[in-house]
Amino acid sequence: MKKIEHIGIAVANADKAISTFNALFNAKPYKTEKVQSEGVNTYFYKMGESKIELLEATNPESPIAKFLANRKEGIHHLAFHVEDIHAEIKRLVKEGFNVLGEVKKGADNKLICFLHPKTTSGVLVELCQEANLE
């Protein structure tokens, strides 16, 4: 893992959250994207080399809607940049980490995969690789 790619924050109301973060960062999201497969709208802010991703559910079955129902708004996951997502998953599985699902296309032109929080001290970890590198 090379760096923190982004911190994902689950929000119940994107308009309200965007207003809050625009004021906090004195900047607007540089990118917004709907990820149909995950049932989310994403809003990205640049913070130096890292990013903040606001996540808003687009349907009641999405992982973000379920997270909000159980835990309310707040940090949803930490995402780490990796050069080769498949090799990193293979290495982490050998180390005893549990992977949630398969590698798939995520927001911001990334290939993504998650590690189960039960094996990462309670933190949902996302691995991210630039999609054009595969």
Q: What is the pLDDT of residues 46-73, one digit of tens each?
A: 988 889 999 999 999 999 999 999 999 9
Regarding beta strands 50-57 and 74-81, do their DSSP bridges make them parallel or antiparallel, or are they unpaired? unpaired
Its pTM stands at 0.90
Condensed to tens digits (0 to 9), the pLDDT of residues 5-42 reads 999 999 999 999 999 999 999 999 999 999 998 899 99
Q: Are 93 and 72 in contact (CB under 8 A)?
A: no
Regarding beta strands 3-11 and 50-57, do their DSSP bridges make them parallel or antiparallel, or are they unpaired? parallel
64 vs 16, 71, 96, 105, CA distance in Å? 17, 10, 26, 17
